Amino acid sequence: MSNHQFPFTVKLVESLYVEAMVLADEARSYFELTPEDQGLTRHDDIRIDMSCESLRVTTRLMHSIAWLLNQKAYFAGELSLHQLHSRSRSLGKCTSSDPFVVARLPQEAQRLVQETQHLLDRLVRLEKSLEAERLGFVEETALRPAVLQMQARLASELA
């Protein structure tokens, strides 16, 4: 396993995994609360939206955690590269939340929706970059951090 094949490390995967597990625990704790403890009234029309968003949050977390566990299994030697890249181990599709609906939710629900979407978005970018590199579509400059790319561009424009 070379660094060229994987632009991220075991440490990054572990960090993302811990982040996902913490979010899963926070989401479980929050969505198990009664609607009143979530800041909703008994007749609040947003309760259906809360149920839908809790399902989206849970789905995003399940997809994220499963993908990260596959990465961890690969780094631990439990999966081959071929197994890791099988379609059944990809992130899959998750529906995004409607920003207008999310804006109506209690603040903690909004935070959970946004943080789980942000986590999934980062994993999707990682998965796409891994796939592009595996297929040979990534140039060396694409693997450099964005800051270095920006510095190089500024230096060339100022020269």
DSSP symbols for 7-45:
SS-HHHHHHHHHHHHHHHHHHHHHHTS-TTTTT--TT-T
Q: In this structure, what token pair is assigned to residue 110?
A: 């909004």
Residue 2 is assigned to a structural domain of this protein: no
Residue 127 is assigned to a structural domain of this protein: yes
What length does the chain have? 159
Residue 64 is assigned to a structural domain of this protein: yes
Lowest mean pLDDT among 28-32, 35-39, 81-85, 142-146: 142-146
pLDDT at 3 over 70: no
Q: What's 102's domain CATH number?
A: 1.10.8.930
Is residue 155 very low, low, confident or very high in pLDDT (cuts 50, 70, 90)?
low
Q: Give start and end residues of each alpha helix (H) in 2-145.
A: 10-31, 47-75, 81-84, 99-104, 107-134, 140-143
Percent of the chain with pLDDT over 90: 47
Is residue 52 very low, low, confident or very high in pLDDT (cuts 50, 70, 90)?
very high
Q: Model's pTM, two decimal places? A: 0.76
More confident residue, 77 or 87: 77
Q: In this structure, what token pair is assigned to residue 139?
A: 């140039």
Q: In the chain, how many domains are there?
A: 1
pLDDT of residue 10: 85
- pLDDT (average), residues 9-23: 93
**Distances in Å between the alpha carbon of 28 and those of 21, 42, 79?**
10, 21, 30
Residue 1 is assigned to a structural domain of this protein: no
Q: Which domain holds residue 131?
A: 10-158
pLDDT at 30 over 70: yes
pLDDT of residue 4: 41
Distance between terminal CA atoms of the chain? Answer: 39
Residue 71 is assigned to a structural domain of this protein: yes
